[in-house]
A and B are shown apart, each in its own frame.
Chain A
Amino acid sequence: MDNNIAENPSPTRAKWRKVAYGGMQPGFDDNHIDDSFLEGMVMNANVVKRDMLKVMQDSVSISQYLCIVILVGLVWNYTLRSTLDETSLLYLDVSLLGSGFLVLLLTKEMLSVDLRLHYLLNVFFFTTGLYVLAPIYQTLTRSISSYSIWAVTVSLLILHLFLQDYSGSTVRAHGALKNPTLTSFISLNASVVASVFIASRLPSRLHVFAIMLFSLQVFLFAPLVTYCIKKYSFHLHLCFSFSLMAVTLAFVYTLHRLLFVLLLGFLVFVTVVCPYWLIRMQEYKFEINGPWDEAKLCFDITD
């Protein structure tokens, strides 16, 4: 540094240095702004450039799950209006359970006999428990009006959809590394409570059992099944999602025209408008990094 000063052509004006020692630098005030001011600042260093098509494909998961929830709602509606009787509901439960297992078996390479037995045993306990509890559920909300129950159920379902973890599944695939977050648990619980409320409006005990089994199967295991499909083949996932959407739209169309238009609009909004927005909003990203940031440790701390 001293050499630099000696070589400087105009010795009266030494070069400013970005140092704190040595008192006030001769020829410069303490509020001097050098050309190097904010040289170390980096803007938007960690911003990920997103591709429109990729974001749209990822958003399909959301529309798919939305359709599943609406299908559940439709089944509830049909049951409450007694279009679906308890035997057909039970057939639906069994076929869903069977197809779910089939998908798991086909998409997972390694599923040992032990694990399969374990799963079956769990399902058995689960079903028995539900059957025993069915009479309690049936009389749970007898003193409350149906309108209130529908309102609470719809808001719980919206909460469920809002907090749902669309990238994975709350019921963990075997060997998954990431633990589910608090919000995904809240979401799952909201859906369970919603199913209990709906079940409590039904006339017979078997009805209650069948509808509870159906809703819990869907809310607990549908994310796991769709997650497995998505991991197995992305094309299959897309086909499955679009057929689900088509089926849902068809059923909603038979139910109510306005609801159909609303749902169609919402699906377009989720798969096209939202990704476009996300990409447009990247322009406003303003992230500042620099030498003042707290250093991050490059290893994991095991406390």
Chain B
Amino acid sequence: MGDSKRHRILMVSDFFYPKFGGVENHIYLLSQCLLKLGHKVVVMTHAYGNRSGVRYMTGGLKVYYVPWKPFLMQNTLPTFYGTLPIIRTILIREQISLVHGHQAFSTLCHEALMHARTMGYKVVFTDHSLYGFADVGSIHMNKVLQFTLADVSQAICVSHTSKENTVLRSGLPPEKVYVIPNAVDTAMFKPAAERPSGDEIVIVVISRLVYRKGVDLLVEVIPEICHMYPNVRFIVGGDGPKRVRLEEMREKHSLQDRVEMLGAVPHARVRSVLISGHIFLNSSLTEAFCIAILEAASCGLLTVSTRVGGVPEVLPDDMIVLAEPDPTDMVQAIKKAISILPIIDPQEMHNRMKKLYDWHDVAKRTEIVYDRALKCSNQSLLERLSRYLACGAWAGKLFCLVMIIDFLLWRLLQLWKPADDIEVVPDIVLSHDEDRGISQDFQAFNKDHSLR
């Protein structure tokens, strides 16, 4: 690969290993695949406990754990300008050419993108979640997103529904927003060699047990299904504030022997739980993409899910049964799933998933977005300010002020600590073992991580 085509990317998000979830997973696997494509990838996140400083992960992925403590839900305190010096130093030290921020909730991501734009870098933003328009929280969140996206080079969303949502929230021209879904590591989620036999049907639920994951729907659906089918058993993996509700339901209907509660399942053990079942049930109330469905389908499970957000786009119609988020409709959907279960072949389903989703494909598509972002023309401060001014009567002026101060601080920093004084880090060239698949790396990644 020619050096001219080689990007030097800084991934920024508050959410990264050692925490575990959809975004963390996405950043890690995307970075690994980009490294394989010959790009240089550096990740920046905040310190987790005593995990602070610079660390190397599998495949030479360098991670900066910035010593900046999280204050709420793993987010750093929004200081606007506090992170400018360290971000500038990292950008110069690592000779970064492009900054890629992840997740709209992450304050570190917003700050990094702002500073990177001030310094004239091209930035790409990936939105991983859906947001409404009605309540006070989302109105403010959407304004912040509008601020960050006002000057972003390109944006990526994980599903078409998510793209519609992001375009509406941020007022970004839709042709600047790309849809690149998540993927699943099919090598890690293989179906069992032999399907659990007998006429017993096992329905698996793995999710955090919180309101947004629709635990209240499960509480209505599980007793009804157990009543209708004496041969159905449930396995519920995950933990959370709504676990008590499920346990209450189990006591009330005396289903202790038919509903098994596993508690938090470490991600490395998710496959072993999945392959012990036949049907995967997802009851989320909102979902931009839902990786859990992919993992289940890759293990050869038939999925029953609520028709919310981006879920209908995730799988072909014959691999998923969709239902409205309403207990009676969900019971109907589970009935339908049980009736078509005999014609499902897990191995065939796994092979189809291999063709449908691949992280390498995701990385290649992301590469195209990077190329386009770098082709965007450079703009002067004044041209950029006019974009911020268009964000709103009051907000626009406020945003402009924030950007002007950022610009002045950057200039001051240039005088105080010239770029020439910052040492450039030599690139480490690892002798890759090319045969090694990302699956092994991935297992190393989530060795001691549990899904809450």
Contact = CB atoms under 8 A, between A and B. Distances in A.
B291 to A, nearest CB: 11
Interface string B132-165: 1110000000000000000000000011111011
B356 A30 contact: no
B75 to A, nearest CB: 21
A33 B315 CA distance: 21
Interface string A12-51: 0000001111111000011101000110110000000000
A21 B357 contact: yes
B55 interface: no
Contact of A23 (B217, B316, B358): B358
A292 interface: yes
A293 interface: yes
Given A20-B289, A294-B132, A299-B220, A38 B313 contact: no
B175 interface: yes
A294 B212 contact: yes
Interface stretch (A132-140, A263-271, A283-291): A283-291
A117 interface: no
A301 interface: yes
Interface in A270-303: 287-299, 301, 303
B337 to A, nearest CB: 19
Contacts of A37: 164, 174
Contact of A291 (B167, B212, B309): B309
A271 to B, nearest CB: 30
B308 interface: yes
A229 B132 CA distance: 42
A102 B185 CA distance: 77
Contacts of A30: 178-180, 365, 368-369
Contact of A295 (B245, B286, B317): B286
B161 A292 contact: yes
Nearest to A22: B356
Contact of B313 (A20, A296, A303): A20
A299 B178 CA distance: 37
Given A30-B180, A31-B175, A292 B160 contact: no
Nearest to B369: A30
A292 to B, nearest CB: 4
A96 B1 CA distance: 93
Contacts of A294: 130, 132, 212, 285-286, 308
B152 to A, nearest CB: 13
A292 B165 contact: yes
Contacts of B224: none
B432 interface: no
B176 A292 contact: no
Contacts of A292: 130-132, 161-162, 164-165, 286, 288, 309
Interface of A: 1, 18-24, 29-31, 33, 37-38, 40-41, 287-299, 301, 303
14 contacts: A20-B314, A21-B315, A21-B316, A24-B365, A31-B174, A31-B176, A38-B168, A41-B168, A288-B133, A290-B161, A290-B168, A292-B130, A294-B308, A295-B214
Given A21-B313, A292-B132, A293-B132, 18 more contacts: A18-B160, A19-B313, A21-B181, A23-B365, A24-B361, A30-B369, A31-B177, A38-B168, A40-B164, A41-B164, A287-B134, A290-B165, A291-B309, A292-B161, A294-B130, A294-B285, A295-B325, A296-B285
Nearest 8 A/B pairs, CB to CB: A20-B181, A295-B325, A292-B165, A294-B286, A30-B178, A21-B356, A292-B130, A20-B313
